[in-house]
Amino acid sequence: MKLSQLLTPELIKIGVQSSDKEGIVEELVNLLVKAGTVTDAAALVEATMERESKGSTGLERGVAVPHCKTAAVKQLTCSMAISREGIDFNAIDGAPSHIFLFLAAPPGMSGPHVKALANIAKLSRSEEFLRKLREAATPEEAFSIITHEETRPD
């Protein structure tokens, strides 16, 4: 599943206030609350942090993909935040994370969730794409970068 099908500029935040993992997750969840796709923010944060306790979702090249399955959402949901400074998200390469893509799916939904994670992994291989995202000045610009990359021929 493409990120451009899940995200809107309203679900993208440039700059974060938090400097730790749980704070970043709360900011990502709050984007979904403001958009009206989540009503129980506390349950969503709790489910995500429980998933993080089993193994960090901090990947390589400055990307983190906190995610969970929970009844706090009725459909696959996504939000994104970008930190220019970078946050320690216990990434597997030990580097700070700059791009945070949050996914939450209801229990029992595997197909779209797995496809979205696979798409994120594919996009994350492009250093130029990640650089452009880190440098995006507005949520609209970040969304445009994602849409362009997803529609580019392989």
In DSSP notation, 49-97 reads: HHHHHTS--B-STTEE--EEE-TT-SS-EEEEEEEEEEE----TTSPPE
Q: What is the CATH number of the domain that holds 37?
A: 3.40.930.10
Beta partners for residue 80, in sequence order: 12, 101
Residue 5 banded pLDDT, cuts 50, 70, 90:
very high
Residue 147 banded pLDDT, cuts 50, 70, 90:
very high
Domain of residue 7, residue span: 3-151
Average pLDDT over residues 25-40: 93
Beta partners for residue 81, in sequence order: 13, 100
For residue 120, the SS3 value is helix
The confidence score (pLDDT) of residue 92 equals 92
The confidence score (pLDDT) of residue 37 equals 87
Residue 21's CB: how many other CB atoms inside 10 A? Answer: 22
Taking only the tens place, the pLDDT of each residue in 83-130 is: 999 999 999 999 999 999 999 999 888 788 888 888 898 999 999 999
Question: What angle, rounded to 10 degrees, do the helices at 139-151 and 127-135 form?
Answer: 160
As a whole number of angstroms, the distance between CA 58 and CA 47 comes to 17
Q: Compute φ and ψ for 47, nearest 5 degrees.
A: -65, -40
The count of structural domains within the chain is: 1
Six token digits for residue 123? 């996009």
As a whole number of angstroms, the distance between CA 68 and CA 139 comes to 24
pTM of the model: 0.94
